[in-house]
Amino acid sequence: MCDTIIATGSATRDGVPIFGKNSDREPNEAHFLQMIPSSQHPPGSAISCTYVSIPQVERTNAVLLAKPFWIWGAEMGANEHGVVIGNEAVFTKVPYEKQGGLIGMDFLRLALERASTAAEALAVITTLLETYGQGGNCGFHKKFYYHNSFILADPHDAWVLETAGKQWAAIQVKGVRTISNGITIGNEWDMASADLVTYAVDQGWCKGRDDFHFGRCYSDFIYTRLSACNDRQCRTTDLLQAQSGRITVSDVIAALRDHGDNREYPLQGVTGAQVCMHAGFGPVRGSQTTGSMVSCLRPDNALHFLTGTAAPCTSIFKPVWMDASLPDTGPEPDGTYDAQTLFWRHEVLHRATLRDYPAMSRLYQAERDALEAGFVSGALMLQGGTRAERDAFAAQCFSQAAAAEEEWTHRVIANHTGNRNGWLYNYAWRALNQQARLENAL
């Protein structure tokens, strides 16, 4: 489950588009930040994606990826031209291809590597989709099959692309648009696959164009309903629409941290979902936000803020530029605890906080907010600075964040007085911690 946001220039305070995304995956499915330089490739070469190989292009762009460690593609990312993309799982009536093929995260990376605008990225994905289709397991420990939707944006343009099998529809965005784990396009779109309506008619989902509605015709009711995607998509839309015309990076960060009306802490039941997703007991509450990204799409040099860690409500957004170095986050993580990696170091703080979220989070959130505000304001002021200045500032932010989180972790563990959660919730997290070999660090 995920949530993706775009506010185009007409909706932001300084006229610069702002993109945001939470990547929701299995709790032990470590998230990884990766910067890959541009590259030339010999004619006739192929690229190996998560499950299949396809022909490579002559040149690939430099890309910044935020990804599950085991997948070739990414949940969200950016390229050297200022294009950003985030993807969402959507659940449809079209049968899922369970043999390994291209998955949504592969489409996302391929588009970033091959496109220089959001519209080109849309064309890359739809062409690959119609050529190869989509399919393959997208789960880590548990098999998980779905189709995909995307927000694609650049400094001048933004699109929502939603798919079901090889069928798709796309709509250009003006103002605020958010997507979650359901199809949001109805009976109006700007572009679509040639058989979008005829496929639905052939399946008996509608009689023709007059009564066709993409979301209503194609959506799987049960999985779409269980994902609580409508609640989350409405929540992010409402939060940003209330600020329309003056939206800032901090507003988008706040939306990604949202736990809902009058809730200071995450849900703990066996159903339900929030924008800042936290796992619980059972298959419905099996995901948590494992990484988050917010991008300020200035035409001259896009600026990206990434956590590289789970749960934005316990994380720090840190600045990264495509023309500067990605600060060291340790070795690439896997599904078990490794204190040398950014993701797993933070998991100790995150999971210790969850034992009594209201009390433990108050031990450091004010300091976190102040530190992060300095990162955001400092990075925005450095947009016109030199590459060396940006490089040094990004490294400083990652270093300060690491030191702060280490102190907060010690503080939370030292002040732990008991677990205030229910039995099923505690049972689920004990099992997850054992699976990740994390028990001794808490």
User: Mind listing the pLDDT tens digit for each residue in 309-335?
Assistant: 999 999 999 999 999 999 999 999 999
Question: Is residue 276 in a domain?
Answer: yes
pLDDT higher than threshold 80 for residue 64: yes
Confidence of residue 104 (pLDDT cuts 50, 70, 90): very high
Confidence of residue 268 (pLDDT cuts 50, 70, 90): low
- Average pLDDT over every residue of 23-39: 96
What's the pLDDT tens digit per position in 365-421? 999 999 999 999 999 999 889 999 999 999 999 999 999 999 999 999 999 887 778
Range of the domain at 185: 3-327
Distances (CA, A) of 9 to 22, 294, 299: 21, 15, 11
Sheet holding 167-172, edge to edge: 31-36, 63-68, 76-79, 84-90, 147-154, 157-164, 167-172, 191-192
DSSP three-state, residue 132:
helix
**CA 269, CA 422: separation in Å to the nearest integer?**
9
pLDDT higher than threshold 70 for residue 298: yes
What's the pLDDT tens digit per position in 137-147? 999 999 999 99
Question: Is residue 96 in a domain?
Answer: yes
- Average pLDDT over every residue of 209-234: 90
Question: Is residue 407 in a domain?
Answer: no
Confidence of residue 265 (pLDDT cuts 50, 70, 90): low
Confidence of residue 55 (pLDDT cuts 50, 70, 90): very high
DSSP three-state, residue 313:
helix
pLDDT higher than threshold 80 for residue 267: no
Distances (CA, A) of 429 to 114, 339, 357, 411: 40, 19, 14, 21
Question: Is residue 399 in a domain?
Answer: no
- Average pLDDT over every residue of 360-366: 96
For residue 245, what pLDDT is reported?
96
Question: Is residue 396 in a domain?
Answer: no
Question: Is residue 352 in a domain?
Answer: no
Least confident of 185-194, 221-230, 266-275: 266-275
Question: Is residue 384 in a domain?
Answer: no
Mean pLDDT of all residues belonging to the chain: 94
Backbone angles phi, psi at 102, to 5 degrees: -80, 130
Q: Tell me the CATH number at 117.
A: 3.60.60.10
What's the pLDDT tens digit per position in 152-204? 999 999 999 999 999 999 999 999 999 999 999 999 999 999 999 999 999 99
Confidence of residue 59 (pLDDT cuts 50, 70, 90): very high
Confidence of residue 51 (pLDDT cuts 50, 70, 90): very high
**CA 144, CA 1: separation in Å to the nearest integer?**
11
Contact (Cβ atoms closer than 8 angstroms) between residue 146 and residue 91? yes
- Say whether 2 is catalytic: yes
In this prediction the pTM is 0.96
Q: Is 299 exposed, middle or buried (0-12, 13-18, 19+ CB in 10 A)?
A: exposed
Domain count, the chain: 1
Contact (Cβ atoms closer than 8 angstroms) between residue 306 and residue 293? yes
Identified catalytic residue from 2, 276, 296, 313:
2
Backbone angles phi, psi at 39, to 5 degrees: -155, 150
For residue 424, what pLDDT is reported?
86
Q: Is 169 exposed, middle or buried (0-12, 13-18, 19+ CB in 10 A)?
A: buried
Question: Is residue 441 in a domain?
Answer: no
For residue 94, what pLDDT is reported?
97
Contact (Cβ atoms closer than 8 angstroms) between residue 102 and residue 136? yes
Contact (Cβ atoms closer than 8 angstroms) between residue 53 and residue 123? no
